[in-house]
Amino acid sequence: AQSVSQHNHHVILSEAASLELGCNYSYGGTVNLFWYVQYPGQHLQLLLKYFSGDPLVKGIKGFEAEFIKSKFSFNLRKPSVQWSDTAEYFCAVNGPEDFGNEKLTFGTGTRLTIIP
């Protein structure tokens, strides 16, 4: 079965630090890749997505992610974090087993805490 791994469970950074959150998936073939964010008390919202084309995708609020097919990875990055980036971040994949539909397999999430 397809799976998604987020190895960082809780990351604590100071404001202005650079961020990289890891995401790896377990299968080959065509994949659609997503990062969702859940701010405290808010619903899950899309941060960015990759379907095809340029493997470096840019999302909202200065986030970007790079799809590296050879490494089965889709890491999330931000050059300088802000206190308002404190949230839980989920990587998700729509993989070959989901052909013809859009259901997602999620990672376990990474809790990001930014210290002012």
Binding region for other proteins (CB under 8 A): 4, 6, 9, 32, 34, 36, 42-46, 49, 51, 90, 92, 94, 99-109
Closest by CA to 21, choosing from 90, 70, 83, is: 90
Closest by CA to 32, choosing from 55, 16, 11, is: 55
CB count within 10 Å of CB 112 equals 21
Q: How far is the CB of 69 from other proteins (least distance, A)?
A: 18
Q: How far is the CB of 94 from other proteins (least distance, A)?
A: 8
Q: How far is the CB of 72 from other proteins (least distance, A)?
A: 18
Nearer to other proteins, 52 or 70 (CB): 52
Strands 56-58, 45-50: pairing kind: unpaired
Nearer to other proteins, 17 or 32 (CB): 32
Nearer to other proteins, 103 or 116 (CB): 103
Q: Measure Cα distances from 66 to 8, 38, 77, 78 in Å.
A: 17, 20, 8, 11
